[in-house]
Amino acid sequence: MEFKFGNVAIMLPPLHITIIAIIIIFFLVRWSKQLETRRFTIFFYFLISTYIAPIFSQSTKEGVFQLWIPLGFIVVFFYLFRSKRNHPSKMKASILGLSIAIYQLILQYVG
């Protein structure tokens, strides 16, 4: 979407991505209110869980093949699994981050 105001234009992402971002922010704020202290950590768990990384790369005749995994979610999951301060809201935020990571994986392989 593009909104023009004279010589200035505001560029926004497509409508469905904007709506998804608003829903994600709503859930993260709601879950952060369930924590008694350090409410901002929910956002860090979410952001770290969205990270994807290639673990294997091979050159082929058609191009380069890369195998991607949601490395951020794996790290956060094992950290929460071993932590004594595990809270359900932190796990919810990391699973929401995993859903974004899966979306990124789909974009890597399709696009």
Please give the model's pTM, rounded to 2 decimal places.
0.85
- Per-residue pLDDT of the chain (111 residues), as tens digits, is 788 999 999 998 988 898 999 999 999 999 999 988 888 999 999 999 999 999 999 998 988 889 999 999 999 999 999 988 888 999 999 999 999 999 999 999 897
Distance CA(28)–CA(13), nearest Å, equals: 20
Instruction: Specify the pLDDT at position 39.
Output: 87
Residues 6+ apart with CB under 8 A from 13: 1, 21
Distance CA(44)–CA(53), nearest Å, equals: 18
